[in-house]
Amino acid sequence: MKRKIKNWLICMLFLMGILITEINVIPMQNVFAKDNKQDIEYGIETSGNLSVFNSEQTVYAADTSTAYTTGSSETGTWIHESNGKWWYRHADGSYTKNAWEYINGKWYHFDKYGWMQTGWLSLNGKWYYLTADGDMVTGWQKINGKWYYFKNDGSMQTGWIRLDGKWYYLNDDGSMQIGWKKINESWYYFLSNGSMNTKALTLGSRKYTFYSSGKLLSTEILITRQKQEKSNWCWAASSVMVGTYNTNSTRTQSDTVKYVKGSLINQGGTDSEAVKALNYSSNFTKTGEIVRPLSFKNAVSSIDNNHPFEMHISWNGGGGHMIVGAGYDLEARSVRAIDPWSDTKTTYYDYSSLINGANLLTGTGKCTSMIIY
C-alpha cells in the first residue's frame, strides 16, 4: 500500500512538471519534499493527500530533500534536517528568522535562514548563551570550565553583581573572577566560589586584611627575622633576610660578610655593599638596586610583588642602621619594619615619620634610601 501511494504521488508530481529527488513516507509523521529545481516545498501526509503549505522560495532546507518531524505542539513543529540543523515550522507553515521565539516555556533564537542557533550569540552589543538544545540560559552557567552569570533576559553579566548577600566580579569576557583582581586601583580577593573576601586571610607566606568593602587594607610578608650576629652587622642581617626570602639559599650572615668584606670584620656597610650582600645571599637569583628617597608607592609595589626590601636609616647624630620593610597598611600609610637589632619588636612606622624622623629602639633618624630587587 505504501509503495502504491509513493508511486502514485511521484507520477502526479512528474505530470505537474516538478522534479522530485526523494520522497519518504513514514507512518505517524509528516514528510516534506523539496523541489530542487523551483525551490518550492510541498507537504505530504501519510493519507496520500497532497497539500502545498508554502509556495514561496525557501532557504532553510537548501541542502536537503527530506525532513522529518520529531515533535509538535499546538503552535508548531520542530523539524530536524539531515544536515543536523533544526528549525521550527508554525501551524501556518511560516517560520521565525533572525529573531527570538518563546516555545514551550523556553526562548530560542533563529538565524536569518531560520535555523535554530546554539552556543554563544552576540546581539545588539550583548552576549547570550544557547544550549545544545537551543534554549537560552539564565543564572549561573559553567561553560568550558568557567562560570558565567546571565540575567533574566538572558544577557551575560559583566562587572560587579550582588547575589544572596555576596558580591561577585565578572570580567569583561563574562567569566567569574577567582583570586586576586585589581579594580579601579584597589586589590580584591575572590574565593574559590567567586564571592568577594572581606576577612583576614593568610595565603602562603603573606597575611592580608581587608576593608568591609572588600578592598585590600594591609599586607604582611611573613619573613623569618634574623638577629644581627655582631653589633655592626645590621646591613648583613637585613641583606640575608631579604636575599634568602623565597629562595633555596642557605647562605648566612658570616658567609655574606666574608664575601663582601673579605673577612668577618665587625664593620658597618654602605648601600652598595648591602646590594652586593643581597645578591650574594640570594645565590644571585635576585638583583638589588638602590632607590632614593623612600617612596610609599615603591614600598607598596614591592610588597605586592612579594619582595621585602631594605631601608637605610641615617641617625640624626651620625652613622646609620639597616632594617627590613615587610608590609604596609594603606589606611595608616605605614610600613611594617623588621629590625635586626637584639630583640627589637617588629612594628609599623608611619611613612611620614620614616622620611622626617622616626624613633627606633637604638636611635632617631630618617630613611634616606631603600634597596629593592
pLDDT in tens, 127-181: 999 999 999 999 999 999 999 999 999 999 999 999 999 999 999 999 999 999 9
Shortest CA distance to 293 belongs to which of 345, 355, 203? 355
Which pLDDT value is given to residue 362?
86
More confident residue, 10 or 102: 102
- Confidence (pLDDT) at 11: 47
Average pLDDT over residues 278-306: 97
Element at 299 (helix H, strand E): helix 296-304
Instruction: Provide the pLDDT for residue 145.
Output: 97
Question: What does the H/E/C string look like for 324-352?
Answer: EEEEEECCCCEEEEECCCCCCCCEEEEHH
Percent of the chain with pLDDT over 90: 79
Provide, rounded to the nearest whole percent, the portion of the chain with pLDDT above 70: 80
State the pLDDT at residue 319: 94
Grouping H, G, I as helix, E, B as strand and the rest as coil, residue 206 is: strand
Which pLDDT value is given to residue 355? 95
Q: Give the torsion sign (CA, 243, 246, 251, 252).
A: positive
> Is 31 a residue whose pLDDT tops 70?
no
Instruction: Report residue 160 as a C-alpha cell.
Output: 560587579
Nearest alpha carbon to residue 354 among 331, 370, 330, 372: 370
Position 131 scores a pLDDT of: 98
The cell numbers describing 192, all together, are 574559590
pLDDT (0 to 100) of residue 186: 96
Dist CA 252 CA 242 (whole Å)? 12
pLDDT band for 299, please (50, 70, 90 cuts). Answer: very high
- Sequence-separated (6 or more) residues with CB below 8 Å from residue 165: none
pLDDT tens-digit series, residues 249-261 = 999 999 999 999 9
- Which string of DSSP letters, residue by residue, matches 230-293? STT-HHHHHHHHHHHTTSS----HHHHHHHHHSS-------HHHHHHHHHHHTTTS---EEESS
Q: Is the pLDDT at 58 greater than 80, yes or no?
A: no
Please, where are the H alpha helices in 93-177? none
Distances in Å between the Cα of 326 and the Cα atoms of 224, 238, 257, 265 are 10, 11, 23, 28
Nearest to 311 by CA among 332, 280, 334, 342: 334
pLDDT recorded at residue 52 = 31
| Residue 49 confidence class, pLDDT cut points 50, 70, 90 | very low
Is the pLDDT assigned to residue 67 strictly greater than 60? no
pLDDT digits (tens, 9 = 90+) for 212-247: 999 999 999 999 999 999 999 999 999 999 999 999
CA angle 96, 98, 101 (to 5 degrees): 50
Range name among 64-68, 149-153, 263-267, 299-303 with the lowest pLDDT average: 64-68
According to the model, what pLDDT value does residue 45 have?
Answer: 34
Res 329: pLDDT: 98
d(CA 73, CA 164): 37
How far apart, in whole angstroms, are the C-alpha atoms of residue 115 and residue 125? 21
